[in-house]
Amino acid sequence: MPSYRAPVEDTLFLLEDVLAIHRYDNLPGFSDASSDVLRAVLSEGGKLAGEVLAPLNLSGDREGCTRNADGSVVTPKGFKQAYDAYAAGGWMGLSVPEEFGGQGLPHVLSTAMQDFVSGANLALGMYPGLTQGAIAALLVHGSQAQKETYLPKMVEGAWTGTMNLTEPHCGTDLGLLKTKAVPNPDGSYSLTGTKIFISAGEHDLSENIVHLVIARIEGAPAGTKGISLFVVPKFLVNEDGSLGERNGVTCGSIEHKMGIHANSTCVMNYDGAKGWLVGQENRGLNAMFVMMNEARLAVGVQGLGQSEAAYQNAVAYARERLQGRALTGAKNPERAADPIIVHPDVRRTLMQIRAFNEAARALALWTALQSDIAHRSQDATERQLADDLLGLMTPVVKGVLTDRGFANAVEAQQMFGGHGYIEEWGMSQFVRDARIAMIYEGANGIQAMDLIGRKLPKDGGRAMMAFLTEVQTFIKDHGEDEAMKPFVGPLQPALNDLQAAVMWLMQNAFTKPDHAGAGATDLMHLLGTVVLGYMWGKIAKAALAAKAEGRDAERMEAKLVLGRFFMERTLPETSLRLARIKAGSETTMALSAEAF
């Protein structure tokens, strides 16, 4: 059976050495995250992930969710107990303000925990994951009364949350939505319509489910300017906070999916369901975006989590499976064959996945740290820079970490040969589960369009300029350091490729938007490759410093090798991406729709 061990030590190294988290002790919540607290929190979180959540991953996939005739949904065996353990550990509110029952710790810590949970059991992790997204939206846009009604129960884990956007005829283009909200005399609304692909829409893990739903108020403008956000609880909440009658929202069916079988993906029917407006009328998409941005980072981390889990199991197999001999002579002469980890092509696979994982983890935590700074810093300049980087990197974390995370799961599965294709080995599940992360919360093509169409030109390209400057400064600062040369040297041409791509797009795409569309995915991956390379630069710097102090020499040496591997094998992709972007859109758009 596959297993999972949370990368606690690596995460601590990233937080303390690479990201120097203690430099931010002046921000609210950060001073509570001392070294001891970090270690205690991550160790506990790692234990929960490895010992409670991971053992239910394969069985949850096999069993899946079941919808009963009355519309109730049963989750797989053990899920309720595991969810309760998660809630009891206080994980739901790790970075929620204390006034609503949370612990107020930095968001970067929640992100580390999301990594562990996503690696251990993606389908299970989605139940609290959606809840955390709903909490974030209510925190920003809910009224004080709504916060007081819902947040403490959600933070406690007694109630869970969902996000209801998609309808059968619209996913990306939410302006087409048809769900209607009719005002009631008491200030509430009656919602009617059908929502699809609603993760955790109905289940047996919590006492109540708090649906956040977008709908059009009767008479509101067509398109995205007439969308409002509503909170629609499964059970109405009485004045005293107790649960009242069942609301008019039911699960019509659950989907038969490629993966994440243990998460109930529901068709939700709203039949005059009672809901309350969250935030302003017709500004619902705005409010939903808070939840979506949070969710996009979390989904990127899911890609990483699956890549890590697949990697760990591939390493175990590569050490145990005896097959063939090393090209340089038997390494295991007393047995009939060598373990396959001696083969260069097997190592190439493992190195490639791990060199991605470590940098991707750094990127996810670095981006989460920008979110903390943007929300908690007292310094307006610092806040703006952090917010710029957060906005710029959100589509990259979502799109690149899930594309590569999936590809890595496939590569790890490949190492198992035929066994990788058999469900009981668990490698197929990593691939099937990782696949969803490329799709939901905005398919990766949409992320690429968000990057090139919104994030890149915003404020005259300020965010991208800030990023280019930061990396260029890093290269300058360390270019003379002999030990840093293998990391800084290759970074310069990669950065040049990114700069050239941005320049080309500025000169060509604003007048001809199809050029941007045709290059969008390549730009997302180009930026992703550069920022992962930059992360390796930062990791290398910290590893060299730790080594010089005599800390963990072997582990640090391994990181330097992995960083060099990334520079040699992955970073050169930037020139291919640039070539594709510069190819423009003429050929791509030349055929008529009928010619396909």
User: Per CB under 8 A, which of residues 337..366 are in contact with a copy of itself?
Assistant: 337, 339, 341-351, 354
User: Per CB under 8 A, which of residues 225..244 are in contact with a copy of itself?
Assistant: none
Query: Residue 1 interacts with a copy of itself (CB under 8 A)?
Result: no
Query: Residue 489 interacts with a copy of itself (CB under 8 A)?
Result: no
Q: Which is nearer to a copy of itself, 380 or 591 (CB)?
A: 591
Contact 233, 161 (CB under 8 A): no
Q: Which is nearer to a copy of itself, 127 or 197 (CB)?
A: 197
Contact 488, 479 (CB under 8 A): yes
The correct pick among 192, 384, 414, 499 for binding a copy of itself (CB under 8 A) is: 414
Q: Which is nearer to a copy of itself, 378 or 587 (CB)?
A: 587
Q: Which is nearer to a copy of itself, 139 or 220 (CB)?
A: 220
- Establish how many alpha carbons lie within 13 A of residue 223's alpha carbon, considering only the half-sphere containing its beta carbon: 2
Q: Which is nearer to a copy of itself, 228 or 521 (CB)?
A: 521
Query: Residue 492 interacts with a copy of itself (CB under 8 A)?
Result: no
DSSP label at 334? Answer: T
User: Per CB under 8 A, which of residues 147..176 are in contact with a copy of itself?
Assistant: 166, 169-173, 176
Contacts 24+ apart (CB under 8 A), 418-421: 419/317
- What number of chain residues touch a copy of itself (CB under 8 A)? 91
Structure tokens at 252: 């019509």
The correct pick among 369, 516, 526, 539 for binding a copy of itself (CB under 8 A) is: 516
The correct pick among 120, 151, 196, 217 for binding a copy of itself (CB under 8 A) is: 196
Q: Is the dihedral of CA 538, 486, 456, 402 positive or negative?
A: negative
Got the DSSP string for 213-254? EEEEETTPPSGGGGBEEEEEESEEE-TTS-EEEEPSEEEEEE
Stretch that binds a copy of itself, among 12-20, 75-83, 285-293, 405-413 (CB under 8 A): 405-413
Q: Which is nearer to a copy of itself, 32 or 423 (CB)?
A: 423
In whole angstroms, how close is the CB of 596 to a copy of itself at the nearest point? 5
In whole angstroms, how close is the CB of 89 to a copy of itself at the nearest point? 30
The correct pick among 25, 99, 218, 514 for binding a copy of itself (CB under 8 A) is: 514
Q: Measured between alpha carbons, how far is 513 from 570 in angstroms, rounded to an integer?
A: 29
Structure tokens at 592: 């008529």
Q: Which is nearer to a copy of itself, 138 or 299 (CB)?
A: 299
Query: Residue 521 interacts with a copy of itself (CB under 8 A)?
Result: yes
Could you say which of 207, 441, 480, 573 is catalytic?
441
User: Per CB under 8 A, which of residues 442..481 are in contact with a copy of itself?
Assistant: 443-445, 448-449
Query: Residue 379 interacts with a copy of itself (CB under 8 A)?
Result: no
User: Per CB under 8 A, which of residues 243..272 are in contact with a copy of itself?
Assistant: 255-259
Contact 399, 448 (CB under 8 A): yes
User: Per CB under 8 A, which of residues 571..590 are in contact with a copy of itself?
Assistant: 572-573, 575-576, 579-580, 583, 585, 587-590
In sequence order, which residues have a C-beta less than 8 Å from that of residue 476 and are 6 or more positions away? none
Which amino acid is it at 564? R
The b-or-e profile of 263-287 (16+ CB within 10 A means b, else e) is bbbbbbbbeebbbbbbbeebbbbeb
Question: What character string, x for contact with a copy of itself (CB under 8 A) and - otherwise, covers 92-131?
Answer: ----------------------------------------
Question: What character string, x for contact with a copy of itself (CB under 8 A) and - otherwise, covers 380-399?
Answer: --------------------
Q: Which is nearer to a copy of itself, 338 or 388 (CB)?
A: 338
Contact 210, 249 (CB under 8 A): no
User: Per CB under 8 A, which of residues 13..32 are in contact with a copy of itself?
Assistant: none
Angle at 6 between CA 419 and CA 63, to 5 degrees: 50
The correct pick among 239, 242, 245, 328 for binding a copy of itself (CB under 8 A) is: 328
Query: Residue 498 interacts with a copy of itself (CB under 8 A)?
Result: no
Contacts 24+ apart (CB under 8 A), 481-486: 483/544, 484/537, 484/540, 484/541, 484/544, 486/540, 486/563, 486/564, 486/567
Contact 253, 303 (CB under 8 A): no
Got the DSSP string for 355-411? HHHHHHHHHHHHHHHHHHHHHH-S-HHHHHHHHHHHHHHHHHHHHHHHHHHHHHHHH
- Establish how many alpha carbons lie within 13 A of residue 376's alpha carbon, considering only the half-sphere containing its beta carbon: 22
In whole angstroms, how close is the CB of 323 to a copy of itself at the nearest point? 4
In whole angstroms, how close is the CB of 180 to a copy of itself at the nearest point? 16
Contact 580, 596 (CB under 8 A): no
Active site residue 441: yes
Contact 156, 90 (CB under 8 A): no
Q: Which is nearer to a copy of itself, 110 or 263 (CB)?
A: 263
User: Per CB under 8 A, which of residues 534..573 are in contact with a copy of itself?
Assistant: 554, 558, 561, 564-565, 568-569, 572-573
Q: Measured between alpha carbons, how far is 596 from 594 in angstroms, rounded to an integer?
A: 6
User: Per CB under 8 A, which of residues 262..321 are in contact with a copy of itself?
Assistant: 315, 318-319
In whole angstroms, how close is the CB of 515 to a copy of itself at the nearest point? 8
User: Do strands 159-164 and 208-217 pair parallel, antiparallel, or not at all (unpaired)?
Assistant: parallel
Question: What character string, x for contact with a copy of itself (CB under 8 A) and - otherwise, covers 418-447?
Answer: x-xxxxx---x--xx--xx-xxx--xxx--
Q: Which is nearer to a copy of itself, 17 or 433 (CB)?
A: 433
Query: Residue 506 interacts with a copy of itself (CB under 8 A)?
Result: no
| Block residue for tokens 């949850």 | 60
The residues assigned a catalytic role are: 441
